[in-house]
Structure 1
Amino acid sequence: MGGVKIDREKVGALSKDSLVKGTLILAMAALIARVLGAVQRIPLVALLDDAGMATYSIAFNIYSFLLVVATAGIPSALSKLVSEQTALGQHAEANRIYRAATWFAVGAGVVMTLLLLVFAPYYAKDVSNDPDAVAAIRALAPALLLFPLIAIMRGYFQGRQRMMPNGLSQIIEQILRLVTAVGLAYLLLKLDYGHVWAVAGASFGGVMGSVGAIAVMVYFAMKLRRADMRSGLTANAKPVQPAKYSAIYSRLFRVSVPIVLFSTTVPLIYLIDSSITIGLLQGDLGYESAKEALGILGGRAQSLAGIPIILAIALSQSAVPVVSAAFARKDMALVRQQASKALYLSVVTGLPMVLAICAAARPLNGFLFGSHEGTSIIVLLTMSAMFQIVMQTSGAILMGMGRMKPLIVHVIVGIVIKLAASFLFASWLGIYGIIAATGLCFIVMAQLNLRVLRREVDYTILGRKWGGIAVTAIVSAGIGVAYEWAAYQWIQPFASRVNDMIHAVVVGGLVCLLYGGLLFVTRTVSESEIGSFPRPVQKLYRRFFARGGRQADQG
Structure 2
Amino acid sequence: MSDSQLLRGTMILSAGIFITKMLGLIYIFPFTAIVGHEGLALYQYGYTPYTVLLSLATLGVPLAVSKFVSKYNALGDYRTGQRLLRSGLIIMSVTGVIAFFILFSAAEMIANRVLDPDSLNGNTVEDAVFTIRMVSVALLIVPVMAVIRGFFQGHQSMGPTAVSQVIEQIIRIAFILIVTYWIMNMTTGNLGTAVGFATFGAFAGAVGGLAVLLVYWKRRAPGLKQQVRDSTVDHQIPLTSMYKELFRYAVPLSFVGLAIPMYQSIDLWTFNPAMQAAGFSLEQAETYFASFGQSSHKLILIPVSIATAMSMTILPTVTSAYTNQEHDRLQRTITQTYQIILFLTIPAAGGLAVVAQPMYGTLFGLEEVAAGSDILRVYAPTAVLFAVFAVTASLLQGINKQKYAVLALIAGVAFKLASNSLFILWFGPEGGVFATMGGYILSVSINVWAVGRFAQFDYHVIRRRLLQITAFTAVMLLITGYLAWALMQIFPMDSRTNAAIVLSLSVAAGILIYGVLTIKTGIAGKVLGHRFSILK
Relative to the length of structure 2, the TM-score reads: 0.92
Which residue number corresponds to residue 548 of structure 1?
Answer: none
Kept after mapping to 1: 8 A contact 2:340/2:528: no
Say which SS state the counterpart of residue 402 (structure 1) adopts. Answer: coil
Kept after mapping to 1: 8 A contact 2:339/2:465: no
Which residue number corresponds to residue 53 of structure 1?
Answer: 40
TM-fit CA distance, 1:450: 0.9
Which residue number corresponds to residue 37 of structure 1?
Answer: 24
- Does 1:291 pair with 2:289? no
> d(CA) in 2 for partners of 1:22 and 1:356?
34
Distance 1:477 1:25, change over 3 A: farther
In the TM superposition, 1:306-345 aligns within 5 A as 306-345=301-340
Distance 1:501 1:20, change over 3 A: farther
> d(CA) in 1 for partners of 2:510 and 2:32?
27
Which residue number corresponds to residue 142 of structure 1?
Answer: 137
> d(CA) in 2 for partners of 1:515 and 1:24?
28
> d(CA) in 2 for partners of 1:153 and 1:69?
17
Q: Pick one of 335, 358, 361 that aligns with 2:356.
A: 361
Kept after mapping to 2: 8 A contact 1:422/1:437: yes
TM-fit CA distance, 1:210: 0.8
TM-fit CA distance, 1:279: 0.7
Which residue number corresponds to residue 8 of structure 1?
Answer: none
TM-fit CA distance, 1:192: 1.8
- Does 1:207 pair with 2:199? no
Distance 1:292 1:267, change over 3 A: same
Q: Pick one of 38, 60, 64 that aligns with 1:77.
A: 64
TM-fit CA distance, 1:177: 1.2
Q: Which amino acid is 1:168 matched to?
A: V
TM-fit CA distance, 1:250: 0.9
Q: Pick one of 109, 112, 116 that aligns with 2:99.
A: 112
Kept after mapping to 1: 8 A contact 2:66/2:153: yes
Q: Which amino acid is 2:316 matched to?
A: P
Which residue number corresponds to residue 551 of structure 1?
Answer: none
Distance 1:248 1:115, change over 3 A: same
Say which SS state the counterpart of residue 188 (structure 2) adopts. Answer: coil
Which residue number corresponds to residue 180 of structure 1?
Answer: 175
> d(CA) in 2 for partners of 1:31 and 1:405?
27
Which residue number corresponds to residue 449 of structure 1?
Answer: 447
Which residue number corresponds to residue 5 of structure 1?
Answer: none
TM-fit CA distance, 1:416: 0.8
Misfit runs of 4+, over 6 Å? none
In structure 2, runs of 5+ residues without a counterpart are: 117-123
Which residue number corresponds to residue 296 of structure 2?
Answer: 301
- Does 1:191 pair with 2:177? no
TM-fit CA distance, 1:387: 1.1
Which residue number corresponds to residue 120 of structure 2?
Answer: none
- Does 1:471 pair with 2:471? yes
Kept after mapping to 2: 8 A contact 1:170/1:213: yes
TM-fit CA distance, 1:406: 2.4
Q: Higher mean Cα deviation, 155-164 or 513-522?
A: 513-522
Distance 1:532 1:271, change over 3 A: farther
Q: Higher mean Cα deviation, 196-205 or 120-129?
A: 120-129
Distance 1:467 1:407, change over 3 A: closer
Kept after mapping to 2: 8 A contact 1:50/1:299: no
> d(CA) in 2 for partners of 1:360 and 1:416?
32
> d(CA) in 2 for partners of 1:102 and 1:55?
33
Q: Which amino acid is 2:481 matched to?
A: V
Distance 1:243 1:454, change over 3 A: same
Kept after mapping to 1: 8 A contact 2:303/2:349: yes
> d(CA) in 2 for partners of 1:311 and 1:26?
14
> d(CA) in 2 for partners of 1:23 and 1:124?
41
Kept after mapping to 1: 8 A contact 2:114/2:272: no
- CA deviations over 1:85-111 (Å, ceiling 9, x no partner): 222222222222222222222111111
TM-fit CA distance, 1:141: 0.7
- CA deviations over 1:215-241 (Å, ceiling 9, x no partner): 111111222224445xx4232122414
Which residue number corresponds to residue 393 of structure 1?
Answer: 391
TM-fit CA distance, 1:115: 0.7
Which residue number corresponds to residue 265 of structure 1?
Answer: 259
- Number of matched residues? 521
- Does 1:98 pair with 2:85? yes
Kept after mapping to 2: 8 A contact 1:312/1:345: yes
Kept after mapping to 2: 8 A contact 1:58/1:271: no
Q: Pick one of 206, 221, 232 that aligns with 1:225.
A: 221
> d(CA) in 2 for partners of 1:346 and 1:23?
19
Distance 1:526 1:191, change over 3 A: closer
> d(CA) in 1 for partners of 2:389 and 2:425?
27
> d(CA) in 2 for partners of 1:126 and 1:347?
39
Say which SS state the counterpart of residue 161 (structure 1) adopts. Answer: coil
In structure 1, runs of 5+ residues without a counterpart are: 1-10, 546-555
Q: Higher mean Cα deviation, 20-29 or 216-225?
A: 20-29
> d(CA) in 1 for partners of 2:343 and 2:220?
39
Distance 1:382 1:510, change over 3 A: same
Q: Which amino acid is 1:123 matched to?
A: I
Say which SS state the counterpart of residue 318 (structure 1) adopts. Answer: coil
> d(CA) in 2 for partners of 1:353 and 1:167?
27
Relative to the length of structure 1, the TM-score reads: 0.89
Distance 1:72 1:317, change over 3 A: farther
Q: What root-mean-square deviation, in Å, do the aligned CA atoms of Structure 1 and Structure 2 show?
A: 2.1
Kept after mapping to 2: 8 A contact 1:468/1:522: no
TM-fit CA distance, 1:288: 1.3
Which residue number corresponds to residue 168 of structure 1?
Answer: 163
Which residue number corresponds to residue 3 of structure 1?
Answer: none
TM-fit CA distance, 1:266: 1.1
Kept after mapping to 1: 8 A contact 2:92/2:143: yes
- Identical counterparts, % of pairs: 27
- CA deviations over 1:170-224 (Å, ceiling 9, x no partner): 2211211111112222222232221111110111111111111111111112222
Which residue number corresponds to residue 275 of structure 1?
Answer: 269
Say which SS state the counterpart of residue 426 (structure 1) adopts. Answer: helix
